[in-house]
Structure 1
Amino acid sequence: MKKSVICMVFASLLAGTALAGNDQKRGQVGATELQINPWARSSGMASSNTARIRGVESMNQNIGGLSGITGTEILFTSTKWLTGTDININALGIGQQLGENGGVLGLSLMSMDMGTFKQTTENAPDQDINFNVSVINLALGYSKKFSNSIQGGITVRVISESVPDASASGIAFDGGVQYVTSIGKGELAKDNLHIGVSLRNVGPEMTFSGDGLAYRGIVQNGTVVQALEQRSASFELPALLNIGLAYDFNMNEESRLTLAGNFVSNTASNDQFQVGAEYAFTEKFMVRAGFDYQKGIFGDSRNFAHNGPTAGASVQLPFGADLDKNVALDYSFRSSNPWSGTHSVGIKVGL
């Protein structure tokens, strides 16, 4: 079994080389909101925990981790994206275990609020008409444990982007697998090495259509004024490949330190190298830090607002007659320049 997993990871590394980031295609993909991590826990580790992520958040990074849910998990996170831009992101997710050996079914919704825009035209540059932009994606995922060491799943995601007179919709597929094994001897070394691979945002091209692309004109060699529609160029989805590794240092029965790393191969932008760490005390109090590196985040000619460092923390407390349920408050911060960083606050309930 271990040999097959090693072969799988090696094949993924070869695929990552083939899909390596292409800087010349920058700006040629759309639906880039699919690359945004809207959840607080994983973003506090710079999204580096592809190999170890669990619960509803895994639907954004590696669907294999969804099978870690026992019972029901409900998660809501609100994000102030690049504070000062008035962009807010809300994400809601639920995961439900389907019996003891039936796997886990998950549903998540992410919505971006970009504020209000003023509509102007060449003929009426000062008109006082406002409009809003709608960006929503809805995901349905399923994950199952195939053995004590391997778990995997698949996600189907519906994407919707619209302004008042034009819209685009599409569909994307994610797939992911996680493998866990033990290195060392003793109870503290149990299941301490994690490997994860996921392929995300694979789907057909999207195209905008609607009345906003129409105008009134005269057909060539004609005399009648008609409504003519311009064709909109199609665009690809931002497909990416995640390859992650994590290791748990179980210092005693109460304390755990996890170090994680992740390589992201983007089809139409620079590749990313993400590293992170999480310290947990009794799995009730957790602090995190991370760094997300890609070419162009440093120097005067940098191309990105987020400049690498991330941090976060969680408090998770049990409740119920048997203390078998839990509620958690999560927070993360992603540094940026300019603006005042990205702040995420989430609440998770496990039933």
Structure 2
Amino acid sequence: MLKKITLIFISLAIILTSLEAGTSKRKGTAGAEELRIPVGSRGVALGGGVVAEANGVDALFWNPAGASFVNKSAEAMFSHVSFIADLKVNYLAVIANFGGVGVFGLSLKSLDFGQIPLTTVDAPDGTGETFSPNYLTAALSYSRRMTDRIYVGANFKLISERILRESAVGFAVDIGLQYRLESGLRFGAVMKNVGGNMRFDGPDLEWGVVIPGSEPGAPVRSLRVPLQEFELPAAFELGFAYNLKVGEAHSLTLAGSFQNNNFTLDEYKGGLEYSFNNMLFLRLGYSYVNEADYIFNSPSFGVGLNIPLGGTLEASVEYTYRKVKFFNNNQFLTVRVAM
């Protein structure tokens, strides 16, 4: 079995090297960039390098394979982040464990842009009206423990974007794998946001015009502007993690990953977590892109607290602070309930 897993990771590495790597020239040419916005305080606190470490409901975003590494019947989480440029991101996810059948999950991510002044050609300073774009991503997830070491999972995403009366709809899939050893060493890989192109369309792209030079009374003709399709921000990520027990009450987790992006430069992520009695968690992480002005080349710090509520019921509250260049720093708050 170990040879088969090794072969799988070698094959994934070959896929990684054969993918069209992103460059700084390709930035801004993909759409649906909300798919790349991270959710969940723990993963961000560890620099985002948790492709091999994420588990339970928290794994749905990072690597759906880890959702089946859970000993609870059900888990739910809500995460909120004040992102850049006054953008708010809310995320809600639930999973249900059906034993040998697998783990099923649902998640919903929404973006709150606030109220934006409406401008037109005739009123470039604003009409006095406002609007708010509506960006929503819903996902159905499935994860299963194939053996005592191998976990697989997938997300099936519906992507909806609406600006005024124009909208775009797309579909994407994430496919993940985790390999966990009893020694505490773990490996993970995931392909994210693989799907077809999207394109905006709507009634505001069509209007009536009179052909210049036409005689008086000439009929009004319909003019429609077709918009260009855009690709999704696909990525491939490969990582490892190691969990070390230090006595009965203490443990350390080291996690890291490499992410190849189709439309931007490669990312290097890593972090360290200290756990006391599996109740108090202190976290430190860093993500790096080889670009001087990359706004997320910065450290992140986090803390988590597990709260037993009696029986099998427990809750956790997690907070992460991430420094950001040029914008306000990010603050992530996550609440999780398990039973």
The SS at the match of 1:123 is coil
Q: Distance in 2 between matches of 1:110 and 1:191?
A: 35
Q: Distance in 2 between matches of 1:249 and 1:91?
A: 31
Is 1:110–2:109 an aligned residue pair? yes
Q: Distance in 1 between matches of 2:121 and 2:229?
A: 26
Match of 1:335 in 2: 323
Q: Tell me how far 1:224 sits from its aligned partner.
A: 2.4
Is contact 2:288–2:296 with CA below 8 Å preserved after alignment?
no
Deviations 1:72-112 (A, max 9, x none): 10100111113xx32111100000011x2111000000111
Match of 2:256 in 1: 261
Q: TM-score, normalization: structure 1?
A: 0.91
Q: Tell me how far 1:248 sits from its aligned partner.
A: 1.0
Q: Distance in 2 between matches of 1:50 and 1:327?
A: 23
Is 1:215–2:215 an aligned residue pair? no
Deviations 1:267-324 (A, max 9, x none): 111000001111111111111111100011x3xxx1x32232111110002122x3x2
Is contact 1:306–1:341 with CA below 8 Å preserved after alignment?
no
Residue of structure 2 aligned with 1:251, choices 240, 246, 250: 246
The AA in structure 1 aligned to 2:184 is: N
The SS at the match of 2:188 is strand
The SS at the match of 1:196 is strand
Match of 1:17 in 2: 17
The SS at the match of 1:6 is helix
Where do residues 185-196 of structure 1 align in structure 2 (5 Å cutoff)?
Answer: 190-196=182-188
CA RMSD of aligned residues (A): 1.6
Q: Tell me how far 1:199 sits from its aligned partner.
A: 0.4
The SS at the match of 1:110 is strand
- Where does structure 1 lack aligned partners over 5 or more consecutive residues? 182-189
Where do residues 157-306 of structure 1 align in structure 2 (5 Å cutoff)?
Answer: 157-181=157-181, 190-218=182-210, 223-296=218-291, 298=292, 302=293, 304-306=294-296
Q: TM-score, normalization: structure 2?
A: 0.94
Is 1:122–2:121 an aligned residue pair? yes
Q: Distance in 2 between matches of 1:258 and 1:240?
A: 25
The SS at the match of 1:206 is coil
Is 1:8–2:8 an aligned residue pair? yes
Is contact 2:289–2:297 with CA below 8 Å preserved after alignment?
no
Q: Tell me how far 1:124 sits from its aligned partner.
A: 2.3
Match of 1:50 in 2: 51
Q: Distance in 2 between matches of 1:220 and 1:261?
A: 62
Deviations 1:154-206 (A, max 9, x none): 1100111111121111000010010011xxxxxxxx34000000001000000
Q: Distance in 2 between matches of 1:76 and 1:44?
A: 16
Is contact 1:260–1:276 with CA below 8 Å preserved after alignment?
yes
Q: Tell me how far 1:115 sits from its aligned partner.
A: 0.9
Match of 1:186 in 2: none
Q: Distance in 2 between matches of 1:220 and 1:39?
A: 56
The AA in structure 2 aligned to 1:329 is: V
Q: 1:9 to 1:220 in 2, by over 3 A?
A: farther
Match of 1:145 in 2: 145
Match of 1:81 in 2: 83
Where do residues 63-102 of structure 1 align in structure 2 (5 Å cutoff)?
Answer: 63-69=64-70, 70-82=72-84, 85-98=85-98, 100-102=99-101
